[in-house]
Amino acid sequence: MNLLRDTTALALAMCEKYLKETSVAVDATCGRGNDTLWLAERCRKVYAFDIQKEAIDSTRTLLEDAGVAAELICDSHNKICDYISENPDVIVFNLGYLPGGDKAVTTNGEETLEALTLSLELLSVDGLLCVTMYPGHPQGAREQEMILAWAGELDKGKFHCVFANMLNQPVGAPQILWITKKK
């Protein structure tokens, strides 16, 4: 597989380096459940969030069909600390809107920044926060701008941040931010 041709595969390939069978992971935006399934096949425990019941139902069906489980939470990712007290090794955000759903319902920059900040507090030392952003629609572009500004201000003594931008692809192509917690 050519990882540079598939943004999701590239994001998850990096995540895989941070996982072990005993890991706890979070899919902060489960959508149709593909990332949740991928995590559930590799981890001891997975928490999956989405604000849309349609997304939770779709994810539940995908997981049941595969014979794996995750704790599905129909709530905003900025409520992560209301549900999780463990320290996840990987937290995945795949922003934007529900594939095949209402494109007017998107992740929100302010809530996402709150969720990202809380996620870094929960994340295990040497854990990975992976954020796939979709700047191809107005809300996504605004959200990405906010996230990159926030990440650029993170304490370099505590975090390493890497940003992958597909330079020769159409404007609005998905982009990835990885943050690892040093201490």
pTM of the model: 0.96
Alpha helices in 41-130 (DSSP H): 53-66, 80-83, 109-122
**Residue 74 lies in domain:** 3-181
Give the dihedral of Cα atoms 134, 140, 146, 150; nearest 10 deg: -30
The pLDDT tens digits of the residues spanning 134-179 come to 999 899 999 999 999 999 999 999 999 999 998 888 888 999 999 9
Q: What is the mean pLDDT of residues 94-117?
A: 89
Q: Half-sphere exposure of residue 81, counting CA atoms within 13 Å on the CB side?
A: 11
For residues 176 and 161, the answer to whether their CB atoms sit within 8 Å is no
* CATH number, domain with residue 102: 3.40.50.150
Task: Provide the domain count of the chain.
Answer: 1
Phi, psi of 165 (to 5 degrees): -120, 125
**% of the chain residues with pLDDT over 70:** 99
The pLDDT tens digits of the residues spanning 27-39 come to 999 999 999 999 9
